[in-house]
Amino acid sequence: MVDLLTDKVVVLSGVGPGLGRSLGEEAAKMGADLVLVSRTPKRLEKMAEVVRSHGRRALVVPMDITDEDQRKALVETALAEFGKVDCLINNAFGIPPMDPISTLELEGLRAANETNVFAPLRLSALFADALAETADKPGGSIIMVNSCVVYSSQPEYSGYKLSKGTLKHLASSLATELGPRGIRVNSVAPSYIYEDVNKAYFDWIASESGRTHEEVYAEKAAPTDLKRLATPEEVARATLFLASDLAGVVTGQMLNVDCGEFHVD
């Protein structure tokens, strides 16, 4: 693995299965130290062991990212441990109600957007001073984990699209606002990621429709140019490119990591 992130400190929210786990491990492989953020201490400790197995440091911070006091404490804890922060990756995600948007109760949307929109906004604002201090190295980057759902108009995805569409515009606004301080803000948008949750979902579709897992996979991969789905490791590597010095002049962009499913002008 290329040491793209040697000695950088990356704050990663949403250390869960699939992409969150791969982001943590791939960042460590690239030479980064990690501040790991999630609600579940056991999951965090397991991820910390993986980071340390690659010779990097890991700080475990169990917390609720929708709580402002805990967000402020996270910044203080990270800086006390490492003395700097080079990159914030907003990966945490709350699943919105999956029904047509005109039928949804607003409370469900509000709850999801506390995690999906307002937490990334506040974490980005609270880490801005620390990121600005590393911006001349270069460094100082924020990455929003978005989704290709922003290109969908299926009614059941409308609440999901509301969150991610708002996050896309938030990233764009922050890129312009924080750019003069040397802070880059970008987004990455995966489509289907071939990881455990989706593998189980494909199994369920197969059992319900009388098909094989491989047939369901082929159906989901058919709209892509490469005729396959990205693995979480592949999505993580593309995401972490945006945290590296190779992307030192890349800001205000959303990188689709979708095997060529969507071509966006």
pLDDT of residue 135: 61
- Go through 144-153 and write b for each residue having 16 or more CB atoms within 10 A of its CB, e for each that does not: bbbbbbbbbe
Which is it for the CA torsion 33, 231, 114, 94, positive or negative? negative
pLDDT of residue 138: 63
Asked whether residue 1 carries a pLDDT value surpassing 80, the answer given is no
Please write the tens of the pLDDT for every residue from 172-200.
999 999 999 999 999 999 999 999 989 99
Could you tell me which of 224, 156, 150 has the C-alpha nearest to residue 194?
A: 224
pLDDT of residue 255: 97
SS3 at position 90: strand
Least confident of 39-43, 74-78, 104-108: 104-108
Average pLDDT over residues 76-95: 96
Please write the tens of the pLDDT for every residue from 134-157.
866 666 999 999 999 999 888 888
Average pLDDT over residues 95-102: 86
9-13, strands of its sheet edge to edge:
58-62, 33-38, 9-13, 87-90, 141-145, 184-190, 254-257
For 95, which DSSP code? P
Local confidence band at 16 (pLDDT 50, 70, 90 cut-offs)? confident
Dihedral angle, C-alpha 100, 105, 111, 112, nearest 10 °: 0
Kindly list the structural domains of the chain, giving each domain's residue range(s) and its CATH number in brackets, ordered by start.
Answer: 9-192+231-257 (3.40.50.720), 194-229 (no CATH)
